Amino acid sequence: MKTLVVYKSKSGASMYYAEEIARALGGESRHYRSIPREGGYDLVIYAAGVNGGKVDSLAAMKKALAPLGKRFLTAASCLREPTGEYRREVAKKSGLREEELVLMRGRMNMARLGIWDRLLLRMVRAKIDRKAEREKTQEDREIYNALSFPTSFTDVKYILPLVKKARAMEEESEAK
């Protein structure tokens, strides 16, 4: 199956996942500023971070990428735990069907971000800080730490649901 994975990445998580996904599916991975002009892909995957509850730059990237392939999927990395419930929330906010989105736990390096992103994330960190100690969840503590020191939760295991999805699509099209 001819597969293209395009990434946009602020802290490197989506770049890492794009490369792992491309390797697993035998496809190619490209930065979003060097998208191939020619289409003809069976599957195009957009990999980017979750920003403010939705996939970064999804509308514009989907418009540019969907015409290049028969199918389009989104692989988004986030700091929150990638639970089914959070996936539903992000899909809804991003205007995607749930089955079009795979969530993977990402990484954070505040020093790599622009000033506005840093300001916004400092507000997120301050909000966690204001919570009473007993009200803080494990996830709150992990996010607080990631917003204080460079942290990575990336793990190749998170690409498995997407790899399975892509293989199922391949079998489906071979059966036709």
Ligand X SMILES: Cc1cc2nc3c(=O)[nH]c(=O)nc-3n(C[C@H](O)[C@H](O)[C@H](O)COP(=O)(O)O)c2cc1C
Tell me if 2 contacts ligand X by CB under 6 A. Answer: no
Tell me if 78 contacts ligand X by CB under 6 A. Answer: yes
Count of positions on this chain that bind ligand X (CB under 6 A):
22
Tell me if 10 contacts ligand X by CB under 6 A. Answer: yes
> To the nearest whole angstrom, how small is the minimum distance from the Cβ of residue 123 to ligand X?
10
- What's the token pair of residue 74? 């989104």
Tell me if 113 contacts ligand X by CB under 6 A. Answer: yes
Question: 17 to 76, contacts with ligand X by CB under 6 A?
Answer: 49-53
Determine the Cα–Cα distance for residues 139 and 79; give it in Å rounded to an integer: 9
Query: Which residue in the block uniquely carries the two structure tokens 């649901």?
Result: 161
* Per-residue mark of binding to ligand X, 114-153 (x: CB under 6 A): ---x--xx--------------------------------
Could you give phi then psi for residue 51, rounded to 5 degrees?
-125, 120
Backbone torsion region of residue 103, taken as left when φ is above 0, otherwise alpha when ψ lies between -120 and 50, otherwise beta:
beta
Residue 91 CB: number of other CB atoms within 10 A? 20
Pairing of strands 28-31, 54-55: unpaired
> To the nearest whole angstrom, how small is the minimum distance from the Cβ of residue 26 to ligand X?
22
Query: Which residue in the block uniquely carries the two structure tokens 């692989």?
Result: 75
Residue ranges that bind ligand X, judged by CB under 6 A: 9-14, 49-53, 77-80, 106-108, 113, 117, 120-121
